[in-house]
Structure 1
């Protein structure tokens, strides 16, 4: 598989958790953000966008403009730190405590066609992005691997549609014009796309990590 970078979004208001620093909440004894970073330990660079506490020294930290501008603005900030030659990039939420290297490898294989049981084409077109879908067919938009050029183009398209800004743009807008390879999780263990929006979600994730 080709080399890849990772952009991890650690912002968000966490309103359903009372405004706490959600990615910093521990699951299985480690902050959720650190669990996500461990799942992409082989990515270079690894970029965290948003507020964050101490990070591994090779992880780069940046902020979206304006702060609190949402996931698309955060994505744009992460992309600004990538080398122009970066081929693919994982775009991930910072609250995915069950994400694993194997799950990322499946997404990467689905995008570049290196896995034996997947294809990187959708209806005859090369995929721009591979993302997980849950059991009800909902796309997990922040558990995805993109071709970097396609992600830049998606951000630019949204900015053009919104008068030159992506402040407040919904993340689903990134997928609107993209060729999407949907991937169902078939591995062992809990779903890697499970995100923690509530205290109950954190409790469920804790149970899965025991």
Structure 2
């Protein structure tokens, strides 16, 4: 079996060393990459495209940058991200899965990591299926305030259509599309189409 490329993101150097040493005992997990913060994690992901990322949620500077890092990594690559942290609060777990993580392991259960990593690589986990449905229903709820015509316009905006392209595709006048866009922005309480898209795409459930 080919060795998996694994990135471990952890700001505690002792924990980082211990986790990597533990994983590298496995024949299919040799040569872990290491990062101590969000910026390093994103850079390494761009450079080596790891198969699996073990991501801490909370870094020592007091920020929950781990979840933000997951969101950003998911914008440019597909990789299996497993949250490895001492936090077990419900909102942290939900935010992690909503951001794109496929599993969650408490640091006290680190011995489970090899089996969790292999399971993540082999299949879509039940929690992924659950979160996919949850996100779909959440989006439907967010768009419930829009009329069917506004939903159609918003869907095209999400796909990257410009206003002139939307006009041609829907056979509507410039003023009609402009009015619909303005109503969408007002209902979402944002100032631009980009903000509206980001608000819907944001996967944070608890702020």
What is the TM-score of this pair, normalised by structure 1? 0.29
Structure number with the higher strand fraction is 1
Higher relative contact order (CA 8 A, sep 6+): 1
- In terms of fraction of residues, the more helix-rich structure is 2
Structure having the higher Rg:
2
